[in-house]
Structure 1
């Protein structure tokens, strides 16, 4: 049972159903490990993107940006900051709550914050792409390209997993 099955609660059979044979504590440990691996991938990308966004203002060409492009940059930096906070937050939860017998609740909270972080990452990526394409293309094509890429992100990150989940749920009901 992946950590995305929220809220985390023990099954009626005490965690010993036809799938994995693990206690709720073992399930929480496994889900926590899986979540940390996922966060590691997302955090690396966010930290690189955020660092590049911070460096942009120190480039000579930044002074040439239009007021609109500067505003997009500020929004993108703020989104990047919020994304980093959301995706690093679970590490803080773990550190503050370790040893307090709250792992299932910690996993649930961290998984929700990670999902929020992915939504914020989506917004950050779209905003950064808009800024870069506006500077590179100087025309309205940038907005259309960002819209197409936003749709692609939504399909890859959310629609395909939602489709699999819907198919899986439908198969279990029938």
Structure 2
């Protein structure tokens, strides 16, 4: 970053009067709030997915549909593990003054978990559409779901992150 852009960044970035430990506490608290929604969603999704194999119609799925089902369960499992891991890590690091490390690990695990969740949701929606209306409809559902996740979970946040920060006025 050149000097002019760095100065611009410093002026537009709000500063807080907090220690590194206070910042880590605040950041971890914010991360936990963000993860609560995702954790609940992935747990519900995985629970519903797991029950499907025990239903009567499951036996009539094609091999490709069963493969999609298994991939979706695997993605949900990865998402669930990643989104629950920060809690376990916190227990291991509790009271050891390593909250900044926990915050960094939670950041990475949340991102990986959300990518896995995007695959899980896309796979589950695609399978449901495939069974309900056939392959061509399922392809549309897959594209819309994956595209929506890509736009809302990657493109939009990236655009907001790299765009100019607001000056404090609402437009």
TM-score range, shorter chain: 0.7 to 0.9
Could you tell me which of 104, 125, 128 is aligned with 1:129? Answer: 125
Could you tell me which of 88, 92, 96 is aligned with 1:96? Answer: 92
Residue aligned with 1:20, SS: coil
Kindly state the Cα deviation for residue 26 of structure 1 after the two structures are TM-superposed.
0.4
Kindly state the Cα deviation for residue 46 of structure 1 after the two structures are TM-superposed.
0.3
Residue aligned with 1:44, SS: helix
Q: 2: distance between equivalents of 1:123 and 1:80?
A: 8
2:43 corresponds to 1:47: yes
Q: 2: distance between equivalents of 1:92 and 1:49?
A: 21
Kindly state the Cα deviation for residue 145 of structure 1 after the two structures are TM-superposed.
2.3
2:16 corresponds to 1:20: yes
Aligned residue in 2 for 1:168: 164
Range 149-158 or range 80-89, more displaced? 149-158
TM-score by length of 2: 0.86
Aligned residue in 1 for 2:25: 29
Please show how residues 103-142 of structure 1 align to structure 2 within 5 Å.
103-142=99-138
Aligned residue in 2 for 1:87: 83
Matched residue count? 154
Consecutive unaligned residues of structure 1, counting only runs of 5 or more, are 1-16
Q: Structure 1's 118 and 27: CA in aligned 2 closer, same or farther, altered over 3 A?
A: same
TM-score by length of 1: 0.84
Q: Structure 1's 18 and 124: CA in aligned 2 closer, same or farther, altered over 3 A?
A: closer
Q: 1: distance between equivalents of 2:18 and 2:136?
A: 55
Q: Structure 1's 152 and 82: CA in aligned 2 closer, same or farther, altered over 3 A?
A: same
Could you tell me which of 78, 99, 122 is aligned with 2:74? Answer: 78
Select the structure that is richer in helix.
2
Q: Structure 1's 134 and 152: CA in aligned 2 closer, same or farther, altered over 3 A?
A: same
Aligned residue in 1 for 2:147: 151
Q: 2: distance between equivalents of 1:39 and 1:71?
A: 29
Q: 1: distance between equivalents of 2:86 and 2:38?
A: 12
